[in-house]
Amino acid sequence: MKRILLCLLAALLPVMVAAQAPAPKPAADPRVELAAKIPGAKPEDIRPTPVPGIFELVHGAGVSYVSADGKYLFAGDLYRVADNGEFPNLTEERRKDLRVKLLAAVPESEMILFSPKVPKYTISVFTDVDCPWCKRLHGQMAEYNKLGIRVRYLAWPRTSPKTPSWIKSQSVWCTKDRGEAFDKAVGGGAVAAASCADPVQRHHDLGRKLGVQGTPGIVLPDGELVPGYLPPDELLQHLQGAKG
């Protein structure tokens, strides 16, 4: 009997010791320490890359990279050497994901919509009412819609606040029938002055975050940014070849 008790005690002893031992501390999140070394960075802006010792740093829809010790920050695209000889651009894929996420946070009630009855694709267009190529795009709206392309306009005047193009954009977005006002503005007609809590500055700031540098700035459903005008047929081909 004594021998049995000793055996049981020997078996239970490691369990008892383990129960009394303090729980191990969770591993420190390296992003917290790294973010503290980079002005304006937050831990959620940082994530590991497939390259050991290199972290990704997100700013808007921009992507740069930082060493694990926080001493080196560098820009440029990161490519993966694939077995089939291709070189997928991991940085651009990340930018596309970020653009989709940032655009999803903008309510469509802030946009001007031109849609077919049954849309196949939805594009987001940063537009300037005085931009010649924006006027050309809008002049072919019936053709885009006929091809199943739904257009969502966001305001992106190329000039600064308080300039005529900026003020005209504000008036368009503050008019009750924005679509009609937009038609008139891009057609060269006068738009009645109107004011409200317009989204022009927000849209402009968002466009810069997404990488828009000129108009029209077209963002496809998968987040690809097309810098400039594309005719309806070419845009459709581009959409058919894009992912997402």
| Active-site annotation, residues | 128, 131, 134, 158
Distance CA 27, CA 214 (A): 45
Q: Work out the burial of residue 232: count CB atoms within 10 Å of its CB; fewer than 13 is exposed, 13-18 middle, 19 or more buried.
A: middle
Between strands 217-219 and 121-127, the pairing is antiparallel
207 Cβ contact list (under 8 Å, min separation 6): 126, 154, 156, 217
Distance CA 208, CA 228 (A): 15
Preceding omega of 216 cis (within 30 degrees of 0):
yes
3-state SS, one letter per residue, for 20-80: HCCCCCCCCCHHHHHHHCCCCCCHHHEEECCCCCEEEEEECCEEEEEECCCCCEECCCCEC
Q: Work out the burial of residue 54: count CB atoms within 10 Å of its CB; fewer than 13 is exposed, 13-18 middle, 19 or more buried.
A: middle
For residue 112, the SS3 value is strand
**Residue 105: left (phi > 0), alpha (psi -120 to 50), or beta?**
alpha
